[in-house]
């Protein structure tokens, strides 16, 4: 009987149990050393229910309580009734049940004399399973008593776990929030299955929803160590026994029972579901049957469960790209941070000039471009969390060793495949690291840091990337101070306007002035336009600032006209924000009427990126103004990506060659060719070409030879205050000063 029931194994003189093996813990509490030795000998190498025994030893009531506190999973206590006192054993039992709350622990009392029978009432009161005299407990009877106690222990554990699982399932089904309902249901299901398997509740519920265009398998329910990865895809999961079992179950479409994992497969109309439990050892056939039987009974209701999973995906995923949305990313990052042992990094990846491509080629093309970028980022960072956090911005979270500026730049080094054709685009990124050894940060704080780094990176060359540093916080505070001061300056009208002459190269005569905003922030110190103009554009302050510059410039032109300089035109820069602002056309019309300046004498300069990115309303405003007679110049031409077709559709009167090409005329042939091409293009379209940034005679001579009609720059004249322009015009020989 012993060989069949107890499965004796070869003797091991140490009585040790293999590390990590699933075993039954038995505590021997007795004040006699002989009892401990005899028990060790009787139970050496014994397996019950295919598990070995692990023996713990205590020689007093205090040691017994201490060991049970450290090992609350102990299955059976072999307890001497008499240790320090005649009723010491009963006192220990009372404390175990009331202080430690160990209701599943089975207790067998051992007495020194066969006639020393404990009271029946005391056994019932303290939930004691059995009592035996020490002389009675031969090795066979001891093993039989332990077998019965362990069976009772397991039944109690399974019942308690089943009740917890069923309670969670019922709670989940009753919740009004479908996402919370699904998660509670999944947790209850995992708890119930773990109880049937007789293992700790360490499990994962994977779902592949029917109709998912990407066919992704996603972790939507978890207990234990798997909870930190909720929301991940199977492709992102660590390569271990659990993920391998899930992959085999899905591929073979049947349950898989491995050495350390059990993957239960269920197919339904709404999709496939796999529950994977960590088992640490192979499950007995009886437990496999119990699991399979219980799981198969879910088939009738699993479609409702998977429908909830579809809602879960909708709540946490971007509907276009089928990746995490912003809120789901924050939740997933917080879970990762709670388990982090090595530095991680969050990157915000912004596609450069996406809005321009979207406007130029249509929203459908823009959607396909976003899908192509998503595929590329998944390929480049297969283990990272990927999310869409803005219209053209991605969030990427992963190990700091792999998520860095070089890796993101490399991901976009080759063209994307958009509609079967190569399409080149760059991405600018901001990075924020989190080191578990440093100051604790939550996901929102890390996202804020990455956003700060991205803002700084976008002020540089497209395609770059910057890591957050504490100095950026100081810079942000300085930007806030500058913005407040600029708001005050605009409201008070202390922003000034300087005027730079534009010269006709054929006539060598001044034909126009460009109005340039200048901000003397403090006495004797100015803030450059390269700082405050972008700040004003980002905050919308450019609208009142631009109105102030427009009014001052037209007023000054009216003054010059009153002095006889009637053929001059005034050039004023206009941003995309101003063009979109309500009432912009009315503002221009009213200012011209107020100062009695002919519309043909005003020219609005827009950048190439503004022209390409501007919505229909902005382009419509330009067309309306041009119908009034106001001129339109395309500034910084050559730095953007205008197509000839779109250039021909814009209402333009002039092209301005960007200063970067003018500066390169003396250094490389590429700049010469670009300037020559722009000039020829202007001639072909019948549009005069103006060169900016002319600073030496050699470049000016080259521009003349290329056929450029007009130029401006320090060689010809620096920007000057309004009062200085009159004297400068009168002193300049061959200019319109001759008219005055």
Q: What is the per-residue DSSP string for 27-77?
A: EEE-S-HHHHHHHHHHHTT-EETTEEEEEEEESSHHHHHHHHHH-TT--EE
Lowest mean pLDDT among 176-190, 390-404, 573-587: 176-190
Say which CATH topology domain 2-159 has: Rossmann fold (3.40.50)
The pLDDT, as a whole number, for residue 321 is 85
Residues of each domain in the chain carrying CATH 3.40.50.2300: 2-159
Rounded to an integer, what distance in angstroms lies between the CA atom of residue 412 and that of residue 398?
Answer: 18
Contact 678, 654 (CB under 8 A): no
Q: Is the pLDDT of residue 350 over 90?
A: yes
- Residues 437-458 have a mean pLDDT of 88
Each residue of 577-616: pLDDT tens digit?
888 888 899 999 999 999 999 999 999 998 766 665 554 5
Q: Is the pLDDT of residue 740 over 50?
A: no
Say which CATH topology domain 327-469 has: Alpha-Beta Plaits (3.30.70)
Q: What percent of the chain has pLDDT over 90?
A: 32
Q: Is the pLDDT of residue 548 over 80?
A: yes
| DSSP H helices in 563-615 | 576-580, 584-595, 608-613
- Residues 42-50 have a mean pLDDT of 81
What's the mean pLDDT when you consider all of the chain? 81
The pLDDT, as a whole number, for residue 639 is 54
Residues of each domain in the chain carrying CATH 3.30.450.40: 174-316
Each residue of 467-479: pLDDT tens digit?
988 777 666 677 7
Each residue of 253-264: pLDDT tens digit?
999 998 889 999
> Cβ–Cβ contacts within 10 Å for residue 192, how many?
24
Highest mean pLDDT among 154-163, 296-305, 334-343, 413-422: 413-422
Number of separate helices (H) and strands (E) present in the chain: 27, 28
- Of 554, 617, 635, nearest to 589 (Cα)? 554
Rounded to an integer, what distance in angstroms lies between the CA atom of residue 403 and that of residue 237?
Answer: 17
Residues of each domain in the chain carrying CATH 3.20.20.450: 490-733
Query: Domain 174-316 sits in which CATH superfamily?
Result: GAF domain (3.30.450.40)
Tokens of 266: 């269920």
Rounded to an integer, what distance in angstroms lies between the CA atom of residue 626 and that of residue 653?
Answer: 9
| Cα torsion angle, 226, 232, 238, 242, sign | positive
Rounded to an integer, what distance in angstroms lies between the CA atom of residue 196 and that of residue 275?
Answer: 13
Q: Is the pLDDT of residue 308 over 80?
A: no
> Cβ–Cβ contacts within 10 Å for residue 149, how many?
23
Burial 372-394 (b: 16+ CB within 10 A, else e): bbbebbbebbeebbbbbbeebbb
Each residue of 181-200: pLDDT tens digit?
566 677 778 887 887 787 88
47-48, strands of its sheet edge to edge: 47-48, 51-58, 24-29, 76-80, 106-111, 130-133
| Cα torsion angle, 210, 213, 217, 222, sign | negative
Highest mean pLDDT among 226-240, 322-336, 652-666: 322-336
Contacts with 200 (C-beta within 8 Å, 6 or more apart), sequence order: 194, 224, 278
Query: Domain 490-733 sits in which CATH superfamily?
Result: EAL domain (3.20.20.450)
| Cα torsion angle, 35, 41, 43, 44, sign | positive
**SS3 assignment, position 595:** helix
- Residues 330-337 have a mean pLDDT of 88
Q: Is the pLDDT of residue 631 over 60?
A: yes
């Amino acid at each position: 009987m012993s060989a069949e029931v107890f499965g004796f194994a070869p003797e091991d003189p140490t009585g040790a149990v293999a590390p990590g093996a699933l075993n039954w813990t038995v505590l021997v509490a007795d004040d006699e050393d002989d009892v401990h030795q005899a028990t060790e000998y009787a139970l050496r190498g014994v397996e019950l229910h295919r598990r070995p025994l692990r023996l713990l030893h205590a020689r007093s009531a205090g040691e017994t309580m201490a060991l049970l506190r450290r090992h609350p999973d102990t299955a059976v206590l072999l307890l001497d009734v008499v240790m320090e006192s005649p009723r010491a054993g009963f006192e220990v039992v009372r404390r175990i049940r009331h202080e430690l709350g160990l209701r599943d622990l089975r207790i067998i009392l051992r007495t020194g004399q066969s006639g020393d029978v404990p009271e029946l009432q005391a056994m019932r009161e303290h939930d004691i399973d059995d009592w035996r005299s020490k002389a009675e407990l031969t090795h066979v009877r001891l093993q039989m008593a332990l077998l019965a106690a362990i069976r009772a222990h397991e039944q109690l554990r399974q019942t308690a776990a089943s009740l917890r699982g069923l309670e969670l399932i019922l709670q989940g089904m009753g919740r009004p929030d479908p996402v919370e309902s699904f998660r509670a249901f999944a947790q209850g299901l995992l708890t119930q299955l773990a109880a049937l398997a007789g293992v700790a509740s360490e499990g994962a519920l994977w779902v592949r929803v029917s109709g998912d265009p990407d066919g992704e398998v996603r972790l939507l329910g978890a207990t234990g160590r798997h909870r930190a990865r909720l929301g991940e895809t199977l492709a992102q999961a660590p390569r271990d026994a659990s993920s391998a079992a899930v992959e085999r179950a899905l591929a073979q479409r049947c349950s898989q029972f491995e050495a350390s994992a059990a993957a239960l497969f269920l197919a339904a109309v709404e999709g496939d579901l796999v529950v994977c439990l960590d088992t640490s050892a192979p499950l007995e056939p009886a437990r496999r049957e119990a699991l399979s039987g219980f799981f198969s009974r879910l088939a009738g209701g699993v479609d409702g469960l998977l429908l909830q999973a579809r809602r879960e995906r909708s709540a946490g995923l971007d509907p276009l790209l089928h990746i995490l949305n912003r809120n789901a990313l924050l939740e997933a990052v917080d879970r990762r941070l709670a388990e982090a042992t090595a530095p991680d990094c969050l990157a915000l990846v912004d596609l450069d000039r996406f809005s321009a491509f979207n406007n130029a080629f249509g929203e459908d093309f823009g959607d396909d471009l976003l899908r192509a970028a998503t595929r590329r980022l998944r390929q480049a960072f297969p283990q990272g969390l990927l999310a869409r956090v803005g219209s053209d911005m991605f969030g990427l979270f992963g190990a700091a060793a792999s998520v860095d500026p070089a890796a993101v730049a490399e991901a976009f080094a080759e063209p994307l495949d958009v509609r079967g054709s190569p399409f080149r685009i760059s991405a600018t990124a901001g990075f924020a690291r989190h080191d578990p050894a440093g100051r604790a940060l939550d996901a929102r704080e890390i996202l804020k840091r990455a956003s700060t780094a991205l803002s700084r990176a976008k002020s540089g060359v497209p395609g770059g990337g910057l890591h957050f540093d504490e100095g950026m916080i100081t810079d942000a505070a300085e930007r806030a101070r500058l913005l407040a001061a600029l708001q005050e300056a605009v409201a008070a009208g202390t922003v000034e306007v300087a005027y730079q002459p534009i010269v006709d190269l054929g006539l060598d005569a001044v034909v126009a002035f460009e109005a340039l905003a200048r901000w003397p922030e403090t006495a004797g110190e100015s803030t450059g336009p390269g700082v405050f103009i972008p700040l004003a554009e980002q905050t919308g302050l450019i609208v009142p600032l631009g109105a102030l510059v427009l009014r001052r410039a037209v007023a000054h032109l009216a003054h010059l006209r009153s002095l006889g300089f009637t053929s001059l035109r005034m050039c004023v820069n206009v941003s995309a924000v101003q063009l979109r602002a309500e009432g912009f056309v009315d503002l221009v019309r009213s200012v011209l009427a107020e100062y009695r300046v002919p519309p043909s004498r005003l020219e609005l300069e827009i950048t190439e990126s503004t022209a390409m990115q501007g919505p229909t309303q902005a382009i419509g405003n330009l067309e309306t103004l041009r119908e009034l007679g106001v001129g339109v110049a395309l500034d910084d031409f050559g730095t953007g990506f205008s197509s000839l077709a779109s250039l021909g559709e814009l209402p333009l009167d002039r092209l301005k060659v960007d200063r970067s090409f003018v500066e390169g005329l003396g250094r490389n042939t590429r700049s010469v060719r670009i300037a020559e091409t722009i000039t020829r293009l202007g001639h072909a379209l019948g549009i005069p070409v103006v060169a900016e940034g002319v600073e030496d005679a050699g470049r000016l001579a080259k521009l003349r030879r290329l056929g450029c009609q007009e130029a401006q720059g320090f060689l010809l004249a620096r920007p000057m205050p309004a009062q200085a322009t009159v004297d400068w015009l009168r002193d300049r020989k061959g200019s319109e000063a001759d008219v005055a």
